[in-house]
Every structure is written in structure tokens, then in C-alpha cells.
Amino acid sequence: MKRFTFHLQKYLDLKKQQEDIQRLVLSNAQAACDEERRKLASIDRRIEALLEYSITLRQMQLNIDLLIFAESYNRVLSEQREIQAMAVEGAMVKLMAEREKYVAMQKDRKLLERLRERLWQQFYEELLRDEQKTLDEIGASNICLKRIAL
């Protein structure tokens, strides 16, 4: 009995390995994006705290120097926020590109797996036909032997 061989098995294995690697790259890109978002959220919290502090200083009108310092620090934080927002956007773009690569690799692998499954089904059906043919021949030869014996 012949064995089933999928001639593209090495290519399928390579595609699976590439997909696993891309999954890791995607995971790293997701982690980097999350880290950039966390930094942006941290800057936003500092800006909010500074605004609350500035409001308190304005209400008390005690120290003009602190108020001026708070305003200049607010500008610095705003610039940092803009820079960080661009970093988040860049990380998102990279994440989307890596996700598209991963999806494309998944499609390639699934295509090969469907092809392999289809070829396996054809092989199995042919094997069943051959087995049925052999059983029919055995049955026919038994009938002939019984007729000869009678």
C-alpha cells in the first residue's frame, strides 16, 4: 500500500515557522505600542496634576514665581505629550503593518493546509476505491471457486 506524501510539506513547515516568528514580532510590536501608550498616559496624568496645582496657586495668589514655573513646566509637558503622541502613532502604524503581515502569513499557511487536506481526501478516496476493488475481486474469485467446486 502506498503512503500519502504531501510534496509541499517542507514549504508548509517553513510557512508555519515564519508565522510563529511573525507572531513574536507582532507581540513585540504590541508590547511596544502598549509601552508608548503608558508613557503618554503618564504625561497626561502629570499635566492634569500640574493644572490642578496651577488652579490652586491662582486661587491662593501667594507665589507668582511658582505660578510662572508651573506655566513653563506645563509648556514642557505639552511638548513632551506631542512628541509622545507621535511616538504612539508610529507604534500603532508599525503594529498595523506587522498585523497585516501576520494575517497574510496565516492565509498562506491555511491555503497550504487546505490543499494538503484536499490531497489527503483524494488519496484516501482512491485508497478506499482500491480496497473495495480488491475486496470485489476476492469476492468474485470466491464465487468462481464455489461454482467450480459444485
Q: Tens of pLDDT along the chain (150 residues)?
A: 688 899 999 999 999 999 999 999 999 999 999 999 999 999 999 999 998 888 887 777 667 788 788 889 999 999 999 999 999 999 999 999 999 999 999 999 999 999 999 999 999 999 999 999 998 888 888 777 677 766
The answer to the question of residue 144 being in a domain is no
The answer to the question of residue 106 being in a domain is yes
The answer to the question of residue 127 being in a domain is no
- In this structure, what are the phi and psi dihedrals at residue 6, rounded to the nearest 5 degrees? -100, 110
The answer to the question of residue 129 being in a domain is no
Calculate the alpha carbon distances from 98 to 1, 39, 42, 107, 112 in Å.
Answer: 45, 22, 26, 14, 21
pTM as predicted: 0.73
The answer to the question of residue 87 being in a domain is yes
How many domains does the structure of the chain reveal? 1
The answer to the question of residue 138 being in a domain is no
Q: Which amino acid is at 103?
A: V
Can you give the residue range of the structural domain that contains 20? 9-111
Calculate the alpha carbon distances from 122 to 6, 16, 23, 130, 135 in Å.
Answer: 12, 24, 32, 12, 20
The answer to the question of residue 68 being in a domain is yes
